[in-house]
Every structure is written in C-alpha cells, then in structure tokens.
Amino acid sequence: MRIGIDVRYLSHGLVGGVHTYIAHFVPALIEQAADHQVYLYADTKRAFELEQLPTHVTLRILPWHGPQSSIAHDLLMGRWMAEDRLDVAHFPANYGFGPAGARTVITLHDAINIMPLGEIIRGHAKRPRTMAMMTYLHFCSRAALRRADTLLTVSAHAGREIARHSGFDPRRIIAVPHAPTPDLRRIEDPAVLADVQRRFELPQQFVLADALKNPAALVHAWRRLSPELRKGRRMVFFSRRPDPPAIVLEAVAAGEALLLLRPSREDLIALYSMAEASVFPSWIEGFGIPVIEAMACGAPVIASDRGAIPEVAGGAALLADAEDYAALAGHIALVLGSQAEARRLCERGFARAAQFSWHSTAQQILASYQGTIRGYIQHST
C-alpha cells in the first residue's frame, strides 16, 4: 500500500489529546508498515517532531506563512497527496479531504464537531474567535464525512454518537482505542514522591481529581463523608486553566481542597501514584484517557458511568452516575476505609491499563486501511 497521513499536528507545537494520539500511533504504525510506502504531510510552522525516519517513509513539508496557510492546506492537501499516488489517505485530526484516486480514512475523535452548530457554539457568544473556529471545524468535519470511506473513532460509544449525529453507515465506523503514553507508570521512589509532596504541600492522604471534570460532584460527595474519614485528608484538584469552577475555589478557601495549576507531566504521574483514589465524575467522555492514566499509575479509580467510561474502565473501577452524590460518596468511603478494596482496584486497574498499547492501536489502524481498500474493491466489482 501507499499510505498518506496528515501529520501537521507534529509540526505545529501543539499539545492535547489529538496531538498525543498522532505522536504515538504514527511511529508505531511506521514500525509495522515496513512492507508499505508511507507518506507524511507536515508544514513549516514548527520543527517536525519525529526524527530518523526509515527509508520506507517520505516526509512532505508544505510551506506555512500564517493561519491562512493552515486553511489552504486543509482544502488543498489532496493535491499534494495525489502526486504520491496514494492508495489510502488518513486524516487523524477529525477532518480532511483526500485525492480522488485514494480511499479516505478519517479519525473523528468524538461527535462534538458534527453536532448541530447551535449546540456547539452555545455559551461562546462573547468569544467570537472561538465561535468562528468551531463553525469552521463543524462545516469541514461535516463535508469530510460525506467523502470518507471509513471513520475511525476512539470507542464504541463515540461511534454510536457519530452515527446518530451524522447518519454515517455504522458498519464503516471502527472503534480503535487510545492508549496510555509510555511514561505512565507507578512511581515508587520515596525521594521523588517526597519532593512532590513538599513542593505542593500535600497531605499524606488525598484523593485526586481534574478541576474541570464535574468537580462539584466530588465536593458534594466529599461533604457527605464522615468526619473520621475526612480527618487529615483533602481533595487535590489539578487544572490546566486558572479559572476552574467556583466550587473548587470555595473548597480550597474552606480548607477542604488544594488546587494545583498546570502540574508538569512528571508531577501528575507522581500525584496519581500517591493518591488514595482518582475520582473522575465526568459528564461525558468519548474515551476517557484519564481513567487509564490513573490505572497505569496504580490509583484506584472512581468514575461516572456516562459516555465511554464504563467501556474503557472494563470493570476495573467503581462507577456511579455523574450527579448521584450519595453513590459517589459511598464509593469514596469504601476505598478510603478499606485497604483490601483499594488494593483490589489497584490490581484490576494495572491489568486493565495493560490491555491498551500504541502497538495494538497502530495494528488496528493499519488493518483499517487494508479493510477500506478491500471493501472498495469488493464494492466496485
């Protein structure tokens, strides 16, 4: 096969879930595709992240002169791909338009971009640039789906939501999960843990949570715990934004919680490793990679039962509805009050996290390319 992949996320200095996905599946796929020709399409906005590409990989660097270049590349990428006579073109960042002679595979990570536009932009009226970007991504994603041969997504739940909002044939939607990054592991070194504890002034016992993922559920559940369980313990929230929901700041002011702004990756891994529990009561997740991240670091996981979380947790977490504070409090009390239960969840979490790997993800993506081509040949004959 002649495989083309839009990898501009690796030349834009980006962070986040889509970047993590592309940065890890592409090297793993290159390793497995030694019998194929692979073409990578990046641009000159930033230095390309991957080094020492093997001989079966060709890197195409497109000129970038400003934001207008990104739009031009979105719309004209197929012209550059056509010159390489691709069999399959993969766009792993939610949309893309391949050449006429190739089959097109798109990874649509969730249904957000294709939901009704009014729902997407609701609440952003005072942020015109955000509204403009969301509108652009919505129309591009919708147009790309009309031309795609296969859709990849991150979970069966996300696949169902995409089919519901788009009408895309569910038989051509393939769920291929993300995986924990290689740096995720349980830190046991007491010197490393003590350093993190000292720098953040952490208590000896705490539960960890993302301040942007329905933190009110944890705060309300926490306040239902007995005084004996809460004594000496705190909630520790981490946040990538300095303006978390007000209830987090209230809990901090009341001495119930700590707020850590933008902890480094290394520190977050240490926090997972030290936490008595990782609580993730998110309202909706297309996948829920923090669940697997916490498990890989040995934190017992308590999470909501919404979206793809039950599918990802695979029976290795305690689940409750995102707004059932009593049930959530019960799960927290069980983990904090029973070393045996905490140990059971830790062991099941390790086993569950080990079932996900970028090697397996890349293997499934490569198989999707082959299946897309076979399906096209069968259909055309």
pLDDT one-digit tens code per residue, 62-72? 999 999 999 99
pLDDT band with cut points at 50, 70 and 90 for residue 381? very low
- Asked if residue 39 and residue 132 are part of one domain, the reply reads yes
The b/e string for 288-312 (b: 16+ C-beta within 10 A; e otherwise) is bbbbbbbbbbbbbbbbbbbbbbbbb
Over residues 42-56, the pLDDT tens digits come to 999 999 999 999 999
Task: Specify if 24 maps to a domain.
Answer: yes
- Asked if residue 40 and residue 16 are part of one domain, the reply reads yes
Q: Is the predicted pLDDT of residue 251 greater than 70, yes or no?
A: yes
Q: Is the predicted pLDDT of residue 176 greater than 60, yes or no?
A: yes
- Asked if residue 145 and residue 255 are part of one domain, the reply reads no
pLDDT, residue 376, reads 58
pLDDT band with cut points at 50, 70 and 90 for residue 127? confident
Q: Is the predicted pLDDT of residue 235 greater than 60, yes or no?
A: yes
Which residues make Cβ contacts (< 8 Å) with residue 270, sequence separation at least 6? 187, 192, 193, 196
pLDDT band with cut points at 50, 70 and 90 for residue 15? confident
- Asked if residue 174 and residue 57 are part of one domain, the reply reads yes
Query: Whole-number mean pLDDT of the chain?
Result: 94
- Asked if residue 365 and residue 349 are part of one domain, the reply reads no
> What CA–CA distances, in Å, run from 119 to 20, 116, 255?
27, 6, 37
- Asked if residue 29 and residue 118 are part of one domain, the reply reads yes
- Asked if residue 210 and residue 75 are part of one domain, the reply reads no
Average pLDDT value for residue range 145-170: 96
- Asked if residue 204 and residue 92 are part of one domain, the reply reads no
Task: Specify if 77 maps to a domain.
Answer: yes
- Asked if residue 170 and residue 22 are part of one domain, the reply reads yes
Task: Specify if 184 maps to a domain.
Answer: no
Which domain does 22 fall in, by range?
A: 2-179+358-380
pLDDT, residue 130, reads 85
Domain count, the chain: 2
- Asked if residue 346 and residue 362 are part of one domain, the reply reads no
Q: Is the predicted pLDDT of residue 336 greater than 90, yes or no?
A: yes
CA distance 69 to 49: 19
